Amino acid sequence: MEIKVTKTANPKPIPQDESTLGFGLKFTDHMFLMDWYDDKGWTDARIVPYGPIEIDPASTVLHYALEIFEGLKAYRTAEGKIQLFRPYENAKRFNRSAARFSMPEIPEEDFVQAVKALVDVDSEWVPKGFGTSLYIRPFMFADMIDLALHYVKHYRFIIIVSPSGSYYSEGLNPVKIMIEDEDVRAVRGGTGFTKCGGNYAASQRAGDRAMAKGYSQVLWLDGVERKYIEEVGAMNIMFKIDGVVVTPSTAEGSILQGITRKSILELLRHKGIPCEERKVSVDELMDAARTGRLEEAFGCGTAAVISPVGVLAYKDEVYDINGGKIGETSQMLYDTLTGIQWGKLEDEMGWVVPVK
Ligand code: PLP
Ligand code: COI
């Protein structure tokens, strides 16, 4: 794919104090764009100065929410190299999301090439501190000027990048999570397995209610019986119960197939640590918490990395997990995963892809 690059004439100052980056708040000097037309396919791949985009008020996405996205990161190693973590997994998942919405797919090589090209142009923006990274947000939306529900003839694909620190202000300190028993996020046959904006829109109300009660996010239950654990608002969930790491199976299609989740399962199997992907009922979880067998709980995701859960609430029961401290398996997984991502540990699994 040929990418036309137009550099900005007015570069912004690069944030020097990395401790105040937060997550997804600041954006670099450039962005990647390309367009899809039903008669031409993908066209006009370009990197241009970052800035507002024009959108018609009748555009499909503003009314019918036809939008999908991805999330990955570029990491700077101590030697100053810049690397990505499993970007082809993001490209594949993007296309699984696209297929669910009848959106055009992007060849995996083009997706990764676009990510690499943008990160390379803005490489000075990749922060230096351990734990900081350049968060990469590719997204695609339908852009027809037509309020009828028609076949969509124009899509736009954009990538923006943001120098970021921790997703949660708690960092690696445990977060408080509340099990949601009223709203549901996804149903079988729906869009739960995709990264579409609509999933997050449907989650907003429960998230806001949880925050008002002092919790960081909600843990979703299945949409049919409200009996089985699914995932958290922005991460997959894992539990260590009786020495075994257990995570909900994604087979029903209502849970996002997280790349961090997949990597953790591969690491655990590689290290010979017992782990299971299966249905986990809220009753089993609460019983384990009540009887002291719930040794650890943690969320995992690109933005969240490994996020220990220190408090779990369901209806009127509230439990502290591992005395509100990070558990040894969570810490080991955090150290291994971040060690590979920031190039401190050897990449035995072959997950890292250099930008150049
Ligand atoms: N589940 C949800 C709902 C998410 O938004 C994310 C974040 O992307 C994840 C899980 C974790 O996925 P990944 O590890 O691929 O970032
Ligand atoms: C990510 O971890 O990349 C995500 O997309 C989570 C997002 C909701 C902040």
3-state secondary structure at position 281: strand
Pocket of ligand 1 (CB under 6 A): 71, 231, 234-236, 256, 258-261, 301-302
Tell me, in angstroms, the distance from the centre of ligand 1 to residue 302's CA: 6
**Domain shared by 244 and 315, yes or no:** yes
Note whether 48 and 33 are within 8 A (CB): yes
Q: In this structure, is residue 101 part of a structural domain?
A: yes
Model confidence pLDDT, tens digit, residues 42-97: 999 999 999 999 999 999 999 999 999 999 999 999 999 999 999 999 999 999 99
Q: Which domain holds residue 139?
A: 4-164
Q: In this structure, is residue 170 part of a structural domain?
A: no
Total domains in the chain come to 2
CATH number at residue 248: 3.20.10.10
| Nearest ligand for residue 136 CA | 2
Residue 167 identity (one-letter amino acid): Y
Q: Which residues contact 87 (CB under 8 A, 6 or more apart)?
A: 72, 111, 112, 115, 116, 353
3-state secondary structure at position 29: coil
Residue identifier of the C-alpha nearest atom 5 of ligand 2: 71
- Is residue 253 predicted with pLDDT exceeding 80? yes
The whole-chain average pLDDT of the chain stands at: 96
Q: What confidence category does residue 150 fall into, taking pLDDT thresholds of 50, 70 and 90?
A: confident
Model confidence pLDDT, tens digit, residues 182-199: 999 999 999 999 999 999
Residue identifier of the C-alpha nearest atom 5 of ligand 1: 234
Residues 168-180, mean pLDDT to the nearest whole number: 88
Residue identifier of the C-alpha nearest atom 11 of ligand 1: 301
Return the structure tokens found at 181: 């028993």
**The pLDDT value given to residue 171:** 75
CB atoms within 10 A of CB 43: 10
Q: In this structure, is residue 349 part of a structural domain?
A: no
Nearest-atom number in ligand 2 for the CA of 73 is 3
3-state secondary structure at position 155: strand
Tell me, in angstroms, the distance from the centre of ligand 2 to residue 58's CA: 28
Pocket of ligand 2 (CB under 6 A): 71, 234, 301-303
Residues 320-336, mean pLDDT to the nearest whole number: 94
